């Protein structure tokens, strides 16, 4: 005689389907909870980093100014060294034309791996800003 399966050891198809649905729903809920907690952790991390991002943006502007200042100094030094009246013992004696300075700024930038025209333009803008900053203001009449 074949033993009859008992309902205690074997589940019916309907019960198995219901259990599988509950298990799938539990897994989906756990997955959503994990994703939600990960998202909250990421939001908290972004909130921590926002002040640093703002500070980096400030420092990037300073670095750009410093790079252009280095171009100006390099261009000025190169232009003075190539000036007709250059004397090593008094390198600032005599006069150097601004176009010669800008040309040397562009060449210094190109030697550093940059674009000649953009380096010369950046140096010219920086020199112009410095002149505007330190030039005496005309008195109001």
**Tens digits of per-residue pLDDT, 35-69?**
999 999 999 998 998 888 888 888 777 777 788 88
Highest mean pLDDT among 12-21, 24-33, 55-64, 124-133: 24-33
Residue 116 pLDDT level (bands cut at 50, 70, 90): very high
State residue 139's pLDDT score.
57
State residue 23's pLDDT score.
95
Q: Which of 2-11, 26-35, 60-69, 97-106 has the lowest mean pLDDT?
A: 2-11
- The string of DSSP codes covering the chain is -PPPPPTTTS--HHHHHHHHHHHHHHHHHHHHHHHHHHHHHHHHHHHHHHHHHHHHHHHHHHHHHHHHHHHHHHHHHHHHHHSTT--TTSTT-S---HHHHHHHHHHHHHHTTS-HHHHHHHHHHHHHHHHHHHSPPPPP-
What's the mean per-residue pLDDT of the chain? 81
């Amino acid at each position: 005689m074949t033993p009859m399966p008992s309902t205690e050891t074997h589940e019916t198809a309907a019960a198995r389907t219901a259990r599988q649905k509950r298990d799938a729903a539990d897994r989906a809920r756990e997955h959503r909870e994990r994703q939600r907690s990960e998202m909250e952790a990421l939001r908290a991390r972004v909130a921590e980093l926002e002040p640093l991002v703002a500070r980096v943006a400030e420092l990037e502007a300073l670095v750009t100014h410093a790079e252009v200042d280095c171009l100006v100094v390099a261009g000025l030094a190169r232009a003075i060294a190539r000036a007709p009246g250059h004397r090593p013992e008094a390198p600032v004696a005599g006069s150097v034309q601004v176009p010669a300075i800008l040309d040397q700024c562009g060449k210094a930038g190109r030697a550093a791996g940059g674009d000649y025209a953009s380096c010369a333009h950046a140096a010219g803008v920086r020199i112009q800003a410095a002149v505007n900053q330190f030039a005496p203001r005309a008195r109001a009449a």
